Amino acid sequence: MSTDLPDRQHTAPGHPGRRPPAPRPGTATPPIAFVGTGRMGGPMAANLARAGFDVQVWNRTPDRAAPLTGAGAVVAPSPAGAVRGAGILITMLADGPATEQAATGPDGFLPAAPGLIWVQMATIGADWTARLARTAARHGVTFVDAPVSGSEGPARAGQLVVLASGPDRMRALLAPVFGALGRATVWLGPAGDGTSAKLVLNNWLVDLAETTAETLSFARRLGLDPGAIVDLLQSTPLGSPYAMQKAATMLTGDFTPAFALRHALKDAELAVQAAQASGTELALTQALLPRWRHAAERHADDDLAAVYTTA
Residue ranges of the chain with per-residue pLDDT less than 50 = 1-27
Whether residues 186 and 208 fall in one domain: no
The per-residue pLDDT for 20 is: 40
Whether residues 45 and 144 fall in one domain: yes
End-of-domain residue from the set 190, 224, 257? 190
In a domain, 12, yes or no: no
Whether residues 45 and 152 fall in one domain: yes
Whether residues 88 and 222 fall in one domain: no
For residue 161, what are the CA distances in angstroms to 18, 157, 166, 169?
33, 12, 16, 20
The per-residue pLDDT for 113 is: 86
Report the predicted TM-score, pTM, of the whole model to 2 decimal places: 0.88
The per-residue pLDDT for 28 is: 66
Q: What is the largest CA-CA distance in the chain?
A: 72
Cβ pair 56, 85 in contact under 8 A: yes
The per-residue pLDDT for 1 is: 35
For residue 156, what are the CA distances in angstroms to 101, 105, 159, 180, 232?
27, 30, 8, 11, 32
Cβ pair 109, 89 in contact under 8 A: yes
In a domain, 40, yes or no: yes
Whether residues 283 and 162 fall in one domain: no
Question: What's the pLDDT tens digit per position in 148-203?
Answer: 999 999 999 999 999 999 999 999 999 999 999 999 999 999 999 999 999 999 99
In a domain, 118, yes or no: yes
Whether residues 169 and 222 fall in one domain: no
Whether residues 94 and 131 fall in one domain: yes
In a domain, 10, yes or no: no
Cross-strand bridge partners of residue 161: 149, 184
In a domain, 18, yes or no: no
Whether residues 46 and 157 fall in one domain: yes
End-of-domain residue from the set 190, 209, 242? 190
Burial letters 212-228, b for 16+ CB under 10 A, else e:
bbebbbebeeeeeebee
CATH for 288: 1.10.1040.10
Whether residues 67 and 157 fall in one domain: yes
Report the domain count for the chain.
2
Domain carrying residue 64 = 32-190
End-of-domain residue from the set 190, 216, 242? 190
The per-residue pLDDT for 23 is: 46
In a domain, 2, yes or no: no
In a domain, 179, yes or no: yes
CATH for 75: 3.40.50.720
Q: What is the DSSP string of 109-161?
A: STTT-TT-EEEE-S---HHHHHHHHHHHHHTT-EEEE--EE--HHHHHHT-EE
Question: What's the pLDDT tens digit per position in 162-174?
Answer: 999 999 999 999 9
Whether residues 135 and 277 fall in one domain: no
Whether residues 228 and 137 fall in one domain: no
Q: Return d(Cα 115, Cα 200) in angstroms, integer.
A: 32
Whether residues 172 and 252 fall in one domain: no
In a domain, 263, yes or no: yes
